Amino acid sequence: MSEWKQKRFWTSVASKEGVDGWTIELDGRPVKTPAKAALLLPTSVMADAVAREWDAQDGVIDPLSMPFTRSANAAIDKVAGQHSEVADMLAAYGDADLLCYRADAPDELVQRQSETWDPYLDWAADTLGARLHPRTGVIHESQDGEALQRLSEQVHALDAFALAAFHDLVSLSGSLVLGFAAAQDLNPVPSIWAASRVDETWQEEQWGADEEAQSVAEIKKTSFFHAKSFFDASRSA
């Protein structure tokens, strides 16, 4: 028995500004989230992106082709109701940040990690007010508590839409610092993503690329780039 799939039932899509934000209307009826909450968006840029996704549906609705809609749903249905818990989870990355876990050999990898990651740690110290220190070995060493607290406060300051995007920027890169670097436009997004892949890139250079691993990495890269776009859309006037 084939799975039932919803088909397009509307002819017109419009984004409309209200007192509390922007809504998407299908034939004049407002769209709701999967949890039946109002799909209320913070900016016209995000509303236009969501509206384009709905308008692009042809025949059977394909949720995978609607990343802005899915991210907005997640912000409203999931993040908004547990904002503090999500922020705490992401802030915890600071104590085990990818950029702080360094190899002790071979020298070529050690140098590449240092050349790529040290500037990000320096930026975090100067801009975010949090100096994180590199570690070698497998035993966890906690970072400075005051630095972690400053990072945590900045994570908690994000609204639900920005935090939903920030979740992916951090979790996909494995780095709270890289998440902030992407959010604050320190470097182009491809450069920041490449910084999160230093170890994997080095391994590929030594042993060759694995097709399955490359496929997974490409999916993560696409999601990371979308998260940056969604973050920016949440901030656009």
Domain regions of the chain by residue span: 13-81, 82-235
Instruction: Kindly state which CATH superfamily the domain 13-81 is placed in.
Output: ATP12-like (3.30.2180.10)
Per-residue model confidence (pLDDT) at position 59: 87
Coil, helix or strand at residue 220: helix
Residue-wise pLDDT tens digits, 26-47: 999 999 999 999 999 999 999 9
Per-residue model confidence (pLDDT) at position 237: 58
Structure tokens at 171: 């979790």
Q: How far is CA 200 from CA 108, 168, 190, in A?
A: 14, 19, 15
Question: Among 125, 100, 94, 127, which residue's Cα sits nearest to residue 114?
Answer: 100
Residue 111 and residue 198 in contact, taking contact as beta carbons nearer than 8 Å: no
Give the separation between CA 192 and CA 186, rounded to whole angstroms.
9
Give the separation between CA 237 and CA 227, rounded to whole angstroms.
18
pTM of the model: 0.94
Per-residue model confidence (pLDDT) at position 178: 98
Per-residue model confidence (pLDDT) at position 32: 95
CATH code matching the domain that covers 82-235, chosen among 1.10.3580.10, 1.10.760.10, 1.10.1040.10, 3.30.750.200: 1.10.3580.10
Per-residue model confidence (pLDDT) at position 228: 98
Below-70 pLDDT ranges, the chain = 1-5, 237
Residue-wise pLDDT tens digits, 105-124: 999 999 999 999 999 999 99
